[in-house]
Amino acid sequence: MSHIFHRNPGQNLPVAVRGEGCYLIDANGRRYFDGSGGAAVSCLGHSHPTVIRAMKQQMEALEYAHTSFFSSEPAEQLASLLAEHSPSTLGNVYFLSGGSEAMETALKMARQYHVENGQGQRHHFVSRRQSYHGNTLGALAIGGNVPRRKLYEPLLMKTTQVSPCFAFRYRSPGESDANYVERLAVELEQTFLELGPHTVAAFIAETVVGATSGAVVPVPGYLARMREICDRYGVLLILDEVMCGIGRTGTYHAFEQEDVLPDLLILAKGLGGGFQPIGAVMASDQVVHTIRAGSGSFQHGHTYIGHPLACAAALAVQQEIIGQDLCGKVRSSGELLGQLLKERFGQHPNVADIRGRGLFWAIELVQDRDGHQPFPPELRLHARIKQSAQAHGLLCYPGGGTIDGVNGDHVLLAPPFISSPEQLAFAADTLVVALDECLGTRPIQQQKEA
């Protein structure tokens, strides 16, 4: 009997004992293609020898030093690497132990920036419905994931949410991209005005939406237009690239494809590739210089910020991504994965949309392809597909409440950057098997043989 309090105690989980490249192996010797990289984490797959060697060397030299006393070589080198591969004004890095911590840190940083700037009345945060920014209380408060928020609503700070940029579900019939973007821009500006623009601290958005709605790419011009509205009223723009950043969408930062520059950028998952827990906030010179010129110190901290071993692992991961031009590989592999999914699901009666960028793709499931009618939420189709896919050797990342937090199902694929064409084809083929099995359109024997 396990003494772990699992997130779902009723589940009997297999025990992972080994990782080999793009595969995980359980205690019974079964192999699983890690088609979602866990939760879009394992960008280099598992047991990467270069990263493991770097971790061993760092462990032998220095495992931990508290950042109130020391900096460390791997932290300094990692920060320099991130700065070198980012816009020149975004060269200040604060390391954390994950995405939720990083988002909490960014909220505090935005608040302190305004206070140091003589605008202490700025305390409102505006985000988007159907967003997800982490599971700590501050990050949960700005997120728009209804099921995750519901239990903790009485504990959450008050935030304001505007419409997501989710064209497939929320663009009006006949509405052009430009008109849709302008409608969302007007909504954001009106929200600022209703709150009192002098009271708004920041607007927060995922550059490419991840878990909650599944690989939703912004309409062209959307984020640049949001940046304009923020600038008009002195509001900071925080972009959450915990899931979609660090090469996942085919460029080192996802915002590079959107003609926009954030004031604060949130990184995690692909930063350390799962080899150690790590996240980061990259802050603009404007934010950092204002704090330095004011009180001189950031009123925040955790025991394990800038952890030497975590930074050494992440440094090795980033050197591999950059040195092997894995962003270029993600672009080419992403085109292939998108093509494979469109070939397998383009005419499927229960797939309404196939969307994504780079190695970050999702399919949205419906009862009725023409009317885009979702399946009843009580069926938990997304969860059943996950179980079926795993039984066939594929790990995928499902989500429910795709449309509004209650209705809709999608399945996300975010395989390792090193995945081969054959592995990507296996993922697409196996996802077809899993979907048809759950819908009862594939005989059991046929499933076994597939």
CATH number at residue 379: 3.90.1150.10
**Segments forming the whole domain that contains residue 382:** 325-449
Q: Given pLDDT bands bounded at 50, 70 and 90, which one contains residue 288?
A: very high
Whether 310 and 278 have beta carbons less than 8 Å apart is answered as: yes
Q: What is the mean predicted confidence (pLDDT) over 381-391?
A: 97
Does some domain include residue 330? Answer: yes
* Class of residue 154 by CB neighbours under 10 A (exposed 0-12, middle 13-18, buried 19+): exposed
Domain boundary among 298, 323, 348: 323
Say whether both 306 and 382 belong to one domain. no
Does some domain include residue 352? Answer: yes
Q: What is the spatial order of strands in the sheet that 409-413 belongs to?
A: 351-356, 361-365, 409-413, 397-400
Say whether both 162 and 281 belong to one domain. yes
Q: Given pLDDT bands bounded at 50, 70 and 90, which one contains residue 373?
A: very high
Say whether both 291 and 336 belong to one domain. no
Say whether both 283 and 332 belong to one domain. no
Whether 320 and 48 have beta carbons less than 8 Å apart is answered as: yes
CATH number at residue 224: 3.40.640.10
Give the integer Cα–Cα distance in Å for 381 and 386: 9
Does some domain include residue 12? Answer: no
Which residues in 338-374 are b (16+ Cβ under 10 Å) and which e?
A: bebbeebbeebebbbbbbbbbbbbbbbbbbeeeeeeb
Q: Given pLDDT bands bounded at 50, 70 and 90, which one contains residue 449?
A: very low
Whether 34 and 395 have beta carbons less than 8 Å apart is answered as: yes
Say whether both 429 and 441 belong to one domain. yes
Domain boundary among 273, 304, 323: 323
Q: What is the mean predicted confidence (pLDDT) over 137-141?
A: 97
pLDDT in tens, 90-114: 999 999 999 999 999 999 999 999 9
Say whether both 58 and 100 belong to one domain. yes
pLDDT in tens, 29-54: 999 999 999 999 999 999 999 999 99
pLDDT in tens, 327-360: 999 999 999 999 999 999 999 999 999 999 999 9
Task: Return the pLDDT at 51.
Answer: 98
In three-state form (DSSP H/G/I as H, E/B as E, the rest C), the secondary structure along the chain is CCCCCCCCCCCCCCCEEEEEECEEEECCCCEEECCCHHHHCCCCCECCHHHHHHHHHHHHHCCCCCCCCCCCHHHHHHHHHHHHCCCCCCCEEEEECCHHHHHHHHHHHHHHHHHHCCCCCCCEEEEECCCCCCCCHHHHHHCCCHHHHHCCHHHCCCCEEECCCCHHHHCCCCCCHHHHHHHHHHHHHHHHHHHCHHHEEEEEEECCECCCCCCECCCCCHHHHHHHHHHHCCCEEEEECCCCCCCCCCCCCHHHHCCCCCCEEEECHHHHCCCCCCEEEEECHHHHHHHHHCCCCCCCCCCCCCCHHHHHHHHHHHHHHHHCCHHHHHHHHHHHHHHHHHHHHCCCCCEEEEEECCCCEEEEECCECCCCECCCHHHCHHHHHHHHHHHCCECCEEEECCCCCCCCEEEEECCCCCCCHHHHHHHHHHHHHHHHHHHCCCCHHHHHHC
Say whether both 221 and 369 belong to one domain. no
Say whether both 442 and 312 belong to one domain. no
Say whether both 424 and 286 belong to one domain. no
Other residues' Cβ atoms within 10 Å of the Cβ of residue 448:
10
What value does the mean pLDDT of the chain take? 96
Does some domain include residue 82? Answer: yes
Q: Would you say residue 11 has pLDDT above 90?
A: no
pLDDT in tens, 189-237: 999 999 999 999 999 999 999 999 999 999 999 999 999 999 999 999 9
Does some domain include residue 20? Answer: no
Does some domain include residue 19? Answer: no
Q: Given pLDDT bands bounded at 50, 70 and 90, which one contains residue 2?
A: confident
Task: Return the pLDDT at 442.
Answer: 61
How many domains does the structure of the chain reveal?
Answer: 2
Say whether both 194 and 228 belong to one domain. yes
Task: Return the pLDDT at 10.
Answer: 80
pLDDT in tens, 392-448: 999 999 999 999 999 999 999 999 999 999 999 999 999 999 999 999 976 543 433
Say whether both 356 and 210 belong to one domain. no
- Please report, rounded to a whole number, the percentage of residues in the chain having pLDDT higher than 90: 94
Does some domain include residue 144? Answer: yes
Give the integer Cα–Cα distance in Å for 70 and 47: 30
Token pair in block for residue 362: 């999702």
Task: Return the pLDDT at 12.
Answer: 87
Q: Would you say residue 265 has pLDDT above 50?
A: yes
Say whether both 89 and 187 belong to one domain. yes
Domain boundary among 323, 352, 380: 323
Q: Would you say residue 320 has pLDDT above 60?
A: yes
Does some domain include residue 306? Answer: yes
